[in-house]
Structure 1
Amino acid sequence: MTSSGGAAHDPAAVPRSASRTWATPRPVDLALTLRPLSRGRFDPTMRWVGSGVWRTLRTVDGTATLHLEVDRGAGAVRASAWGAGCDAALDLVPGMVGEGDDDDGFDVSAHPFLHDARRRSPGLRLVRVGLVFEMLVPAILEQKVTTVEARRAWRTLVAQHGEAAPGPAPEEMRVAPSPRAWSLIPSWDWHRAGVDPRRSRTVLAAASVAPGLERTLALGRGGEEIARKIRSVPGVGVWTAAETTQRSHGDPDAVSVGDYHLPALVGWALVGEPVDDDGMLELLEPWRGHRQRVMRLIESSGFAKPKFGPRMTIQDHRAH
């Protein structure tokens, strides 16, 4: 690994910066690996430009902008970061690109669809970004609403209450608000963003215990103890905890039970017909310990279930 860093003569004018390079013995596909971190094309915290990705982060040392790109010829990931939290952001990169993601014992050779999906996605890794609170908030905003509603709310609130991305980030990129900043958002801004009181109360509850959430990272990559601690936040259930630990902890087994679309997707992909939550768990049971890995393979394959049946109605909470 190599690194370089520097500080500007005027810290207010040019943020602190640093860079590092990691050798990657196994191939890494950034698009597939980091896809769960993106909340849509217009997510103000993440932007793809060419073959590289920009991501803003709020680290223990402050805000940071991170740029990642794979150097395939050198078999390495090159990372640059700017801001007070640049070094802390770079410390998160190995987990983000799959370090510690252990797929030993994961065998899909008996299932043609999964076997082919794995063969065609050799660079897929499970992301572990840390930053539990930062991963939890957008999951809360996604509770029981459409993707369109959730992404609009995330984009609106981060733009209004986040901070400008340090360094040479693409225009309009922002760093998500701190726990305190989330707790200070006035009720009318939640309302204008289309977030109902139930979800805003849950974000406030999470903000009040944010340091404790971060301590769960020391417990490993997943498991019931971590999920239980995250579910102890009022308003956070099984689905929200799973959506969080998949990203923050790199949990290879977390299943988003209670998802509106997921059981049908799994059913169609694995057995050619829709199933419910119980049916989904039954289908995934042979890969217990790696059930999230199966979900990521299905997603990376581009498989889509047949387009028929009811859809969730977009609700405009701003109109009430």
Structure 2
Amino acid sequence: MEQACVTSVYRPREPVAVRLTLAALRRGAGDPAWWFAPDGSVWQATGTADGPATRHLLVRRDGIHVTAWGPGAERAVAGVPDLLGARDDPTGFDPTLHPVVREAYRGRAAMRIPRSGNVLEALVPAVLEQRVVGLDAKASWRRLLQQHGTPAPGPAPRSLRVPPTAAAWRAVPVWDWRRAGVEEARAGTVLRAAEVAHRLQEGVNLPLEEARRRLLTVHGIGPWTVAEVASRALGDADAVSIGDYHLSDLVGWALTGDRTDDAGMLRLLAPWAGHRQRVIRLLELTQAARAPKFGPRAPRARPLH
């Protein structure tokens, strides 16, 4: 039987590039929690305080049409404005301070910094990306969701999976972590975060610094992971992932033509204080494919079997 749905039309005050905004939340093209459909619409499977939900967003001339299914459908619909950056305020952002940023911003002014409001769904894949190649982390996330996620409610694509709840993450057997290429250290961090997931989730309604402080109390979560979560779940337009294997080199190369370190990256981004994550996103979108490959690379994860 087809499940009842909740519908709405979101009409943002300013234009929003839906796919460009939501791309930051998707962990690769094979992320089982997302599907960017050929018709231009976006499907997402997510958890809410009321239970799982499927969101479908379709841009039409009169606004962004939202349909949601599942126990969490009403919350999923209510969260769409934040998801699409309604709280993101670009006031004070000056792309003309550097020609590369100016060019990147052209045609992408409608990109917003999303605020998913779901800390655990942003945190787990960020932990999986610690210290390993991004492709391996995405493969681990994909395998874990396929095994331990639940089918998306409603008439969603069959491949769509709702990410595990905190309790479900705690129940993942050790051999499934290993088969997904996740060693004990990263798996342990996820389990510790799942134990206090309710406290971390409370950070969504707290000042940003308090939310960041709570994340840092979990052993295995450092400034890099906090920035990754803050930029996705909390809508932090100024987050900078210090300690990233490649980010400082990308920023240095894009803005100066040469690589740099974290301190140099912070100096280069300083003119955009308050909007550093916005600049980083623009550079990743437009410069990452052109940038030379600098070493060292992150180590490969244990192969999946």
Q: Tell whether 2:134 aligns with 1:147.
A: yes
Amino acid at match of 2:129: E
**1:116 CA drift (Å):** 1.9
Equivalence for 1:63: 52
Alpha-carbon offset, residue 288 of structure 1: 1.4
Structure 1 alignment gaps of length 5 or more: 1-12
Q: Which of 131, 155, 173 is the equivalent residue of 2:160? A: 173
**Alpha-carbon shift at residue 264 of structure 1 (Å):** 0.5
1:35 partnered with 2:23: yes
Residue in 1 that maps onto 2:272: 287
> For 1:49, which of 37, 42, 63 is the aligned residue?
37
After TM superposition, give the deviation of residue 301 of structure 1 in Å.
2.6
List aligned pairs for 1:1-320, cutoff 5 A: 13-50=1-38, 51-71=40-60, 73-74=61-62, 76-220=63-207, 222=208, 224-303=209-288, 304-307=290-293, 309-316=295-302
1:62 maps to a residue whose letter is G
CA distance in 1, matches of 2:78, 2:217: 28
Instruction: Please report the TM-score for the alignment, with normalisation by the length of structure 1.
Output: 0.91
The letter of the residue matching 2:134 is T
Q: Is the 8 A contact 1:195 1:317 kept in 2?
A: no
The Cα of 1:119 is off from its aligned counterpart by: 2.1
Rounded to whole Å, the distance in 2 between the matches of 1:289 and 1:169 is: 38
Q: Which residue of 2 aligns with 1:4?
A: none
C-alpha distance in 1 between matches for 2:304 and 2:107: 43
The alpha carbon displacement at 1:137 in A equals 0.7
**Distance between the aligned counterparts of 1:302 and 1:29, measured in 2?**
19
SS of 2:249's partner is helix
Q: Distance in 1 between matches of 2:132 and 2:154?
A: 34
Q: Which amino acid aligns with 2:90?
A: D
**8 Å Cα contact 2:47-2:162 kept in structure 1:** yes
- Change in 2 beyond 3 A, CA 1:31/1:309: same
Q: Contact 1:63–1:84 (CA<8 Å) still a contact in 2?
A: yes
**Offset of 1:21 from its aligned partner?**
0.3
SS at match of 1:36: coil
- 1:109 offset after TM fit, Å? 1.7
Percent of pairs identical after alignment? 46
- Conservation of the 8 A alpha-carbon contact between 1:231 and 1:241: yes
What residue identity is the alignment partner of 1:232? T
Structure 1 CA distance for aligned equivalents of residues 251 and 124 of structure 2? 26
Output one character per residue of 1:11-53: Cα deviation in whole Å (capped at 9) or x when no partner. xx33231110011231111121011111111110001112111
Q: Which runs of 5+ in 2 are unaligned?
A: none
| Alignment TM-score, normalising by the size of structure 2 | 0.95
Cα RMSD after superposing both structures: 1.5
* Runs of 4+, deviation exceeding 4 Å: none
Separation in 1 of the partners of 2:296 and 2:274?
32
Instruction: Determine the C-alpha separation between the residues in 2 that align with 1:44 and 1:38.
Output: 9
Provide the rounded CA distance (Å) in 1 between the counterparts of 2:166 and 2:296. 37
In structure 2, relative to structure 1, the CA distance for the partners of 1:308 and 1:135 (3 Å cut) is closer
| Cα displacement string for residues 54-101 of structure 1 (whole angstroms, at most 9, x for unaligned residues) | 000100110011011222x22x11111111110011111001111011
How many residue pairs get aligned? The number is 303
Q: Distance in 2 between matches of 1:170 and 1:307?
A: 36
Deviations 1:213-243 (A, max 9, x none): 11111124x3x32211111111100001110
Alpha-carbon offset, residue 318 of structure 1: 5.8
More deviation, 56-65/109-118: 109-118
